[in-house]
Amino acid sequence: MITKKLFRSIDELQLVQYYATLSPEDVGFHSEDGKVIVDAKSFIGLFGLDFAEPILVVSEDEDFHKKIENIGETVEE
């Protein structure tokens, strides 16, 4: 599953990262152009993306996607 999100604060990112650490599945943050892919469970990895732009949150964990549904802004395609 892929959810396109725009995060507006460090608090939002930290909350998503926290939920990612609870997921048994891999969770990745991808730039829209696919050039940058980071492990969402890695706090240091979060600094690899430009969060001024929407990012793709990628995971097969449907429960994780439900948990982050109201964090940040979901951007429609």
> Which CATH number does the domain housing residue 47 bear?
3.30.1340.10
What does the pLDDT read at residue 77? 66
How deeply is 53 buried, as exposed, middle or buried, from its count of CB atoms within 10 A (0-12, 13-18, 19+)?
Answer: exposed
Total domain count for the chain?
1
Confidence (pTM): 0.90
What's the rounded mean pLDDT across residues 6-23? 93
Sign of the CA dihedral running 50, 72, 4, 54:
negative
Q: What is the pLDDT of residue 9?
A: 87
Mean pLDDT over residues 10-30, rounded?
Answer: 94
State pLDDT tens for residues 29-55. Answer: 999 998 989 999 988 877 778 888 999
CA gap 65, 68 in Å, rounded: 5
What is the span of the domain harbouring residue 37? 2-74
Q: Is the pLDDT of residue 71 over 80?
A: yes
Say what the pLDDT of residue 49 is: 80
